[in-house]
Chain A
Amino acid sequence: EVQLVESGGGLVQPGRSLKLSCAASGFTFSNYYMAWVRQAPTKGLEWVASITNSGGSTYYRDSVKGRFTISRDNAKSTLYLQMDSLRSEDTATYYCTRDYRRVFDYWGQGVMVTVSS
């Protein structure tokens, strides 16, 4: 059974950093692209970033480019999202997703990030 479990969320002040993790199991992690998708309170879904299976290429939405870094450790079957220079508009639930042939075929339950002073 595919499982994606996010962790690392919480309350953080504007301008500070936070690192999310996603522990994957139930599939060969190193074979799949992965992604982060977020959802602000009462809003819709928004793709944040994707990473190839090797980690050699990454893709970001413009609003997080230069502030967020997606990475992975295939030996630990873990996906990361380093979030720097956080803004209030980054407040959202962040979902780890498996990116299979460009669709998000499995999702985690999400982790909440609140950016507020």
Chain B
Amino acid sequence: DVQMTQSPSYLAASPGESVSISCKASKSISNNLAWYQEKPGKANKLLIHSGSTLQSGTPSRFSGSGSGTDFTLTIRSLEFEDFAVYYCQQYNEYPRTFGGGTKLELK
């Protein structure tokens, strides 16, 4: 199975700041990587697919980069609604696997 390692597990930031979350795959997954947002009481939301393509409705302050084994989710000018848990997920092969998650907290 492809292991997905996210870092950091926890991240504290303030509105207006920029943050980056890393996701590393145990082997090359090309650009077959998605990022999701999890918020209490809400359905999980697909933010980015194909490593860097914003899903319709995802604000432009979100961006994704990387290919192969190393990927990054960047959120510029954080807004209050961005404080959530973020997961990366590879879909290059079965079983589909997720990173362990990064909890973005308000500082």
A42 smallest CB distance to B (angstroms): 10
The residue in B87, B96, B98 that gathers the most chain A C-beta atoms within 10 A of its C-beta is B96
Counted as pairs of residues, one from A and one from B, with CB atoms less than 8 Å apart, the total is: 50
Pair B95/A44 contact, Cβ less than 8 Å: no
Task: Write the A75-101 contact mask toward B (1 if CB under 8 angstroms, else 0).
Answer: 000000000000000000001000001
Given contacts A44-B100, A61-B95, contact A105 B55 (CB under 8 A): yes
Which of chain A's residues has its CB closest to B55's CB?
A105
A69 smallest CB distance to B (angstroms): 17
- Is B20 in the interface zone, CB < 8 Å from A? no
A109 to B45: give the CA distance in the assembly, Å. 11
Pair A102/B91 contact, Cβ less than 8 Å: yes
- Is A45 in the interface zone, CB < 8 Å from B? yes
- Is B64 in the interface zone, CB < 8 Å from A? no
B interface residues, tally (CB under 8 Å): 20
| Interface residues on chain A, size class | 20 to 34
- Is A27 in the interface zone, CB < 8 Å from B? no
With a CB–CB cut-off of 8 A, which chain B residues contact A35?
96
- Is B34 in the interface zone, CB < 8 Å from A? yes
A34 smallest CB distance to B (angstroms): 13
Which of chain A's residues has its CB closest to B96's CB?
A47
Task: Write the A38-82 contact mask toward B (1 if CB under 8 angstroms, else 0).
Answer: 000000111100100000000101100000000000000000000
Pair A103/B49 contact, Cβ less than 8 Å: yes
Given contacts A44-B100, A44-B101, contact A107 B44 (CB under 8 A): yes
A96 smallest CB distance to B (angstroms): 10
- Further 17 A-B residue pairs, CB within 8 A, beyond A44-B101, A47-B89, A106-B43: A4-B43, A44-B87, A44-B98, A45-B44, A45-B87, A45-B89, A45-B101, A47-B96, A59-B94, A61-B95, A102-B32, A103-B89, A104-B34, A104-B36, A105-B49, A107-B44, A107-B45
